[in-house]
Amino acid sequence: MKTSLEAQIRHPREMRTIRKRYHPYLAKYFGSDQLLVDASISEAVWNAWEHGHGQNRDYPILLKVNFLKHRLVVRVYDQGGGFDWRPYQLSSDVKHWFPKVDDLDESGRGIMLMLRVMDSLRYNDKGNECLLMKNYLQE
């Protein structure tokens, strides 16, 4: 099954309405992990709004959610200047790594969540577009 949705978001609270459109697919493909996957998508949008746009509602964030044959692919694009995402890319398998409370300063917690939940997290070179991918749970 292939289903896609696209939205322009001026404030992350708009995710409440958008979530209603993709939530049935999260439930179907991710079962009890659906809340974590949804939190990762929401975190990417919040990061774009807060850090990319400086909480400015004049510039929309572009959200694309695609349920492909075997995986979910989400793109979040903001019109900001980007950021250096490279320090957050860990070479070890972060799914088995659990940080100490001291390691979770104010910045980077959302990225750590996305790295732990999603199968893949990538950014464009500029750092203003995020790509999240997660394979569906096996039935």
pLDDT tens digits, 82-95: 988 887 765 445 55
pLDDT at site 1: 59
pLDDT at site 139: 56
3-state SS, residue 114: helix
pLDDT at site 49: 95
| Phi, then psi, of 76 in degrees rounded to 5 | -125, 120
Per-chain mean pLDDT for the chain: 87
Residues 119-129 have pLDDT tens digits of 999 999 999 99
Rounded mean pLDDT of 19-48? Answer: 95
Residues 6+ apart with CB under 8 A from 114: 40, 43, 44, 121, 130, 132
Rounded mean pLDDT of 29-43? Answer: 96
Between 87 and 99, name the one with better pLDDT.
87
Distance CA 127, CA 48 (A): 10
AA letter at 119: D
**pLDDT higher than 90, residue 96:** no
**pLDDT higher than 60, residue 28:** yes
Give domain 3-135's CATH superfamily.
Histidine kinase-like ATPase, C-terminal domain (3.30.565.10)
AA letter at 46: W
Distance CA 21, CA 6 (A): 10
